[in-house]
Structure 1
Amino acid sequence: MASEKNAVALTGFFSSLFHNLPRLLLTNLLFAVPFAVTFGIFYLINTLTGMNSMFIYFLTVIPLFPFYAGVTQVTSHMVRGEENVDVLSNFIGGIKENWLRFLVHGIIMYAAVFISYYSIVLYVGLSSKNGMFYVPLVLCILIACFFLFMFFYVPPMTVTFDIAMKDIYKNSALMTIGEFKHNLFAVFGILILFMLCATVLMCSFIPTLLIILTIILALFFVPSILSFIINSAIYKNMYSMIVDKDSKSKSIDKKMENRRNGQFNDNEEEPDTEDFSGLDLDESADGDEFIFYNGKMMKRSYLIKLKKEAEERKNKK
């Protein structure tokens, strides 16, 4: 049963991917311009200063991340199943509404990668001399994975929900552990994507062609496909959990308000306004068996009562 469900989900993923492929490529075209400009600036800085550091190049992520908000906005609409997503308006809207938050996300992401990378390099060197350093090495790798999984959730959560930054990171951290299976699905999809890219690059035996293909993949293929894969793996559960949590939070707020107003009976709910007109019940039947209705098991007598109350409210209007 689980394998059938996974097969259906995988089929749906590829169907959506190929259906939205032209829009994903257009999204990459919009993202390519700021990508090329920002990378070019830091390339010049790295060259002119003579530092030749990979992390000078990686500084590109900080000013570029606000533009990734546009990519995330587009792909999040796609994985929600929306047809004919307007790429341009969603891309620009995602940037305008979220640029400041994504700038902060870029700084935090850069710091996380910087610290994780050099910590792992340090303990790899030390562990080759003393086996005791394998313990902090493993710990650093686990922390790096934690940051990776957390940043699966930070971008889509930011563009989808109007919640505080601390809540974005708190929820993302919780889902890093709680949604571990879906995080692994995302990692698997990313590995497949980069294996495909690596296969293409390995087929180029001329250095110039290798550079050209790398630029084409980085600018016009990878960013939106990567975002689509991650969102396909984690978005549905993330959305459901945040909405459900928000609903529970409002319920708690309502109870606290009731306490302040001297009301201590939390079972007093607003009258049920559900329409039971489509419910066919035999009121003359004997017995009071349970009936499955609207996702719940309820006694027939109780359903008859709810139906009559609904009809009375309807007649009064």
Structure 2
Amino acid sequence: MSTEKSSVALTSFISSLFHNFPKLLLTNLLFAVPSAVFFGIFWFINMITGLNSNFILFLTAIPLFPFYAGVVQVTSHMVRGEENVDVLHNFISGVKENFLRFLVHGIVFYVAIFFSYYSITMYTSFGKVNGVFYIFLAISIIVSIFFLFTFYYIPPMTVTFDISMKNIYKNSALMTFGEFKHNLIATLGLFVLFLLCATVLMCCYVPIAVIIATIVLALFFVPSIMSFIINSAVYKPMYTMIVKGDEKSKEIDRKIENRKNGIFDDTEETPKKNIADGFSDIEVDEKADGDEYIYYNGKMVKRSVLLKLKNDETPKGEQD
């Protein structure tokens, strides 16, 4: 049964990918412009300073990340199964509405890349001299995987929900463990994409062809397809967790309110205290014509409603 479901899910993913492929290419085209500009700027800075360091090239991620919000916005709509997704509109609105948040994400992403790259490189080198450093290498790899899984959720969560940055990072961190199966599926999908790109590059026997193929893949194919793969794997469980978490929070609030009002059976509704309590002492003219609104306890309440509540609250002996 599980195998059958997996087969259906894979078929649905492939079908959706090919169906949306032209729009994914258009999304990459929109993303390619800022990508080329920012990478060119930092490549030039790297050359003129003579540093020749990946540290400088990695800085491209910070100003580029807000534009990745547009890619995530488009692919999120596709993964939800929406037809006729307006790529241009969604890309621009995704960038505009999430610019500052994704700029912060870009800084965090840069720090994560910096840590992962240099710690793994350093401890691999040290491990060749002293085997003890392989322990630190293993820890660095685990932390890097944690960063990777966390960033599966941070972008789609940001473009989908209006929640605080603190909750975005907290929920994303929790889902690195809670949705481990879906994280592995996303990683497997990215690995397949990597293999396909590597195959294309290996078919290029001339250095200039390798460079051109790398640029074409990086600018026009990989970003949106990568986002589509990640969202296809994690979007549904992410959405379910946030929505159910919000419903659970409301349920807890309701139970707390019930306890405050002396109700210990949570199948009962919380009493509406604002209007229903304390009407026995209110003076309402029962003989007056009409059903006008009367200001009571901070609310405008119809006279007939006040009379009913007053009569319901007054003991039968007193009514007689």
Q: TM-score by structure 2 length?
A: 0.82
Superposed CA offset, 1:88-122 (max 9, x none): 11101111111101000000010011112211122
What's 2:250 paired with? 250
CA distance in 1, matches of 2:16, 2:261: 51
> 260-269 or 47-56: which moved more?
260-269
What's 1:293 paired with? none
In the alignment, structure 1 residue 3 sits paired with structure 2 residue 3: yes
Identity %: 70
Cα shift at 1:263: 4.9
Superposed CA offset, 1:189-219 (max 9, x none): 1111111111111111122222111111111
Cα shift at 1:13: 0.2
What amino acid sits opposite 2:100 in the alignment?
L
Cα shift at 1:255: 2.7
What amino acid sits opposite 2:112 in the alignment?
A
The alignment of Structure 1 onto Structure 2 pairs a total of residues equal to: 271
Cα shift at 1:128: 1.6
Superposed CA offset, 1:267-312 (max 9, x none): 2138xxxxxxxxxxxxxxxxxxxxxxxxxxxxxxxxxxxxxxxxxx
CA distance in 2, matches of 1:186, 1:23: 21
What's 2:144 paired with? 144
Considering only CA atoms, is the larger Rg found in Structure 1 or Structure 2?
2
Match of 1:130, SS? coil
Match of 1:131, SS? coil
> 121-130 or 78-87: which moved more?
121-130
Q: How does 1:197-208 map to 2 (within 5 A)?
A: 197-208=197-208
Q: CA RMSD in A?
A: 1.5
CA distance in 2, matches of 1:92, 1:253: 38
What amino acid sits opposite 1:137 in the alignment?
L
Match of 2:204, SS? coil
What amino acid sits opposite 1:178 in the alignment?
G
Aligned CA distance change for structure 1 residues 260 and 97 (closer, same or farther; 3 Å): farther
CA distance in 2, matches of 1:211, 1:131: 37
In the alignment, structure 1 residue 226 sits paired with structure 2 residue 249: no
Cα shift at 1:262: 5.5
What amino acid sits opposite 1:127 in the alignment?
G
What amino acid sits opposite 1:212 in the alignment?
I
> 121-130 or 97-106: which moved more?
121-130
What's 1:41 paired with? 41
Q: How does 1:56-205 map to 2 (within 5 A)?
A: 56-205=56-205
Superposed CA offset, 1:10-45 (max 9, x none): 000000000000100000011011111111110110
What's 1:315 paired with? none
Cα shift at 1:130: 1.8
Tell me which stretches of 4 or more aligned residues in structure 1 moved more than 4 Å: 259-265
Q: TM-score by structure 1 length?
A: 0.82
Ranges in structure 2 where 5+ consecutive residues have no aligned partner: 271-320
CA distance in 2, matches of 1:116, 1:123: 11
Q: How does 1:245-284 map to 2 (within 5 A)?
A: 245-260=245-260, 263-269=263-269
CA distance in 1, matches of 2:249, 2:132: 46
